[in-house]
Amino acid sequence: MPDLAICSYCDTVHRRVELTERTTARCVTCHAPLYRTHPDLGAMLAVAITAAIALVIANTFPLVTLTSQGQQTQATVWRAIAVSYDQNLPFVALVLTITLVVAPILEIGSLLWILVPLCAGARPLGFATVMRALRALRPWRMVEVFLLGVIVAVVKLSALATATPRWGLYGVAAVTIALAALASFDPGALWRRAEQVAR
Amino acid sequence: MTRAVDLGVIACEGCELVMQAPRDVDGRCPRCGETVRSRNPRGASRTWALLIAAAALYVPANMLTMMHTEQFPLRRSDTILSGIEFLWSEGSWELAMLVFVASICVPLVKLLALGLLLVTSHRGSTWRPRARTKLYRVLEVIGHWSMLDVFVVTLLTAVVQLGRFASVEPGPAVLPFAGVVVLTMLASASFDPRTIWDGAA
């Protein structure tokens, strides 16, 4: 029954209509978004590649450096994880690892895995598994919250010593923007596209 | 309004495939393999359990010390709230407001709102179902923002290690605080918003 769309929030059944230019179909009962126009796969791929590059920068370069009386220290994502572990907070280290490293790497990796073959007109290997992984991971990716956390930390540090934002911070900001742009895609539309390719 | 439950159709939550399904029978989506069910009979009790656990952790998360700061010769220990006061007086009021909303308001709103949704759904309430659905959608969006303070404390700990002049250490509140965020996220994910409308129809 490909002509039906069911609202996941209130269970209302709708007949699908073809959408014109970049709009979102909303549920008539509860106004939640139902589906969107077909995604521009080429544009999505470009943003996903940008996100991948930004993620490498975010995870390798220091986020902020602190200078006081000739001493300099710096914070990276990895150092924050290592320090939590050293402070006997393995659960916190685990939360940081999942929300800042594992979830974004897998999310961007899965998107590239799906988008590269789809753009070339082939059905991606393990499409169903990758799509399910994407759905499961999304809530646990917290790069955008971390970005705000780094900014708050920089302000707090300014009271203590000279705090300078570094490349890693701009990397985190770029990942946040790129993932926000990709989050608006409609999984149902990707599924329909994949089925067209399969035939 | 026509509901899928009444028509005997169901959509897969993973891939949106619409299929025939009798009520309350579990199965797997033939297209993507996701578990498909009309309603999860144990969903509400699962949400309650996670919510109560989160509410219990909310107390130590706010009472205990979140962060020890040492800047020779001064040493201070801050809870979430006193950390916000400090940020207000020393840093900027905008950020203080931001941390207040993310760390104090968001978890509290989540606990109260999910409790309200569970009670009204259980009673089959017909009270403003559209507004309650909107409330649930807001919870989904704001859910993870309360992790903010955990990130701030771990970052500060990582960077402030200037020998004997200054150091920052996480306090005992960090663990329950991270627990509240994770548990409330799991709780709102296990709540089925369609139950809001089951009594309203």
Contact criterion met (CB < 8 Å) for B133 and A191: no
The residue of chain B nearest to residue A187, with distances taken between CA atoms, is B15
Contact criterion met (CB < 8 Å) for A150 and B158: no
- The phi, psi pair for B54, rounded to 5°, reads -65, -40
Amino acid at A116: V
Helices (H) and strands (E) in chain A, counts: 8, 7
Residue pair B9/B18 in contact (Cβ under 8 Å)? The answer is: yes
B77 beta partners = B68
**How far apart are the C-alpha atoms of A94 and A67, rounded to whole Å?**
29
Q: Which residues of A touch B9 (CB under 8 A)?
A: 1, 4, 6, 13
- pLDDT recorded at residue B22: 55
A31 touches B: beta carbon within 8 Å: yes
Residues B50-86 have pLDDT tens digits of 999 999 999 999 999 999 988 777 888 999 999 999 8
Partner B, chain A 106-165, Cβ-Cβ below 8 Å? 128-129, 131-132, 135, 139-140, 142, 145-146, 148-153, 155-161, 163
Pairing of strands B35-36, B27-28: antiparallel
- pLDDT recorded at residue B201: 54
The residue of chain B nearest to residue A33, with distances taken between CA atoms, is B137
- CATH of B40-198 given 1.20.140, 1.10.1200, 1.10.3470, 3.40.1000: 1.20.140
Domain boundaries, chain B: 1-38, 40-198
Q: Min CA distance, B62 vs chain A (Å)?
A: 17
**How far apart are the C-alpha atoms of B4 and B11, rounded to whole Å?**
8
A32 touches B: beta carbon within 8 Å: yes
Residue pair B143/B185 in contact (Cβ under 8 Å)? The answer is: yes
Which residues have C-beta within 8 Å of that of residue B162, sequence separation ≥ 6?
A66, A68, A69, A71, A73, A161
Domain boundaries, chain A: 1-37, 39-198
Contact criterion met (CB < 8 Å) for A32 and B178: no
The residue of chain A nearest to residue B86, with distances taken between CA atoms, is A156
- pLDDT recorded at residue A51: 96
SS3 A68: strand
- pLDDT recorded at residue A20: 79
Residue identified by tokens 């996220």 is: B185
Alpha carbon B116 to its chain centroid, in Å, reads 14
Structure token digits, residue B65: 């010390």
| pLDDT < 50 positions in chain B | none
The residue of chain B nearest to residue A79, with distances taken between CA atoms, is B158
Residue pair B148/A149 in contact (Cβ under 8 Å)? The answer is: yes
**How far apart are the C-alpha atoms of A52 and B95, rounded to whole Å?**
30
Pairing of strands A64-68, A162-165: antiparallel
- pLDDT recorded at residue B200: 65
pLDDT, block means (10 residues), chain A with 199 residues: 86 88 88 85 93 96 87 88 90 94 94 92 89 89 94 85 90 95 81 76
Residue pair B65/B78 in contact (Cβ under 8 Å)? The answer is: yes
